[in-house]
Amino acid sequence: MDRNTANWRVFGKICCCLLLSLSSLNMLPGLAAAGQIASISKPAAQLIKDEGRQSAKGKKLAVIIDDLGNGMQGTEEIMALPVKVTVAVMPFLPTTEADARKAHEVGHDVLIHLPLEPKQGPTRWLGPGAILTKMSDEEVRKKVEAAIDNVPYAIGINNHMGSKVTGDERVMSIILDVCRERGLFFVDSRTNYRSIIFKLCKQKGMPQIKNDIFLDDVHTEAHISRQMDKVAEQVHAEGKCVTIGHVGTKGRKTAAVIKKYIPKLQGQGIEFVGISEMARDAKTPGQWPGGGIILP
């Protein structure tokens, strides 16, 4: 073999390598489409396919069920739903730990349903561990920390009642600080339309998540069904929705309507997700100072 032939062979190998590299980077689509380097183009095609599948999952619905922890009606039915939901468990009640553990075992997300002082009504309605605006900074902090320690597998907190506390910047700031320190996020149940939670979460670099629609504020299946229709409308319009229902006197009705709507909503391309996924979507890169929020 003469020197020129050897040089041309080396040059040819270099060109082939270059073509293969460019194709794998989708810079030569025609060549890949012709199947001339199919073994190289398959991974890129799979990535595109996976990306398309990911964007198809854009319609997300997070269902939160409040008031677990006291053996309330509808608890078993909610636990048995065939889609992922989020249960909000009140602390320091007879079935608090059992409900939280069971929810985690079956794959649901767990929140602490933290009792906060309302503007109206006796504080005895709040249950044990309630946080009041008259408490000192240290008292508030200890209450939040104790509640977190009492509910296993909790990844966040939402408020039980709380129309007064959610408008109090001092108290809410302490609650959110403890959340951040312990790796939790906070979901505003929206019992107060003048809530300052979003403002404080933004300042502290925490996900901003709120309830959009109450499912069972009226205790009839007809009303809950109408609310589920509103939920579907919002998901289609905005790509996501957070909705809150309850166990208790309306628990079995709420569970029954949700179960009935599951195939209907899934048929519309709506995906049932845990609230942790909404928190992950709400995360803004570079805006979580300190320990940040820990998600599963």
Residue 84 has pLDDT above 50, yes or no: yes
Please give the pLDDT value at position 137: 98
Please give the pLDDT value at position 264: 97
User: Which range has highest mean pLDDT (53-67, 122-136, 198-212, 277-291)?
Assistant: 198-212
Q: What is the pTM of this model?
A: 0.78
- Average pLDDT, whole number, for the chain? 83
Class of residue 35 by CB neighbours under 10 A (exposed 0-12, middle 13-18, buried 19+): exposed
Distance CA(209)–CA(198), nearest Å, equals 8
Residue 135 has pLDDT above 80, yes or no: yes
pLDDT band per the 50, 70, 90 thresholds, residue 122? confident
Domain positions in the chain: 11-56, 60-282
Residue 12 has pLDDT above 60, yes or no: no
pLDDT band per the 50, 70, 90 thresholds, residue 288? very low
CATH architecture of 60-282: Alpha-Beta Barrel (3.20)
pLDDT band per the 50, 70, 90 thresholds, residue 239? very high
pLDDT band per the 50, 70, 90 thresholds, residue 131? very high
Lowest mean pLDDT: which of 121-130, 209-218, 224-233, 269-278?
Answer: 121-130
Average pLDDT on 190-195 reads 90
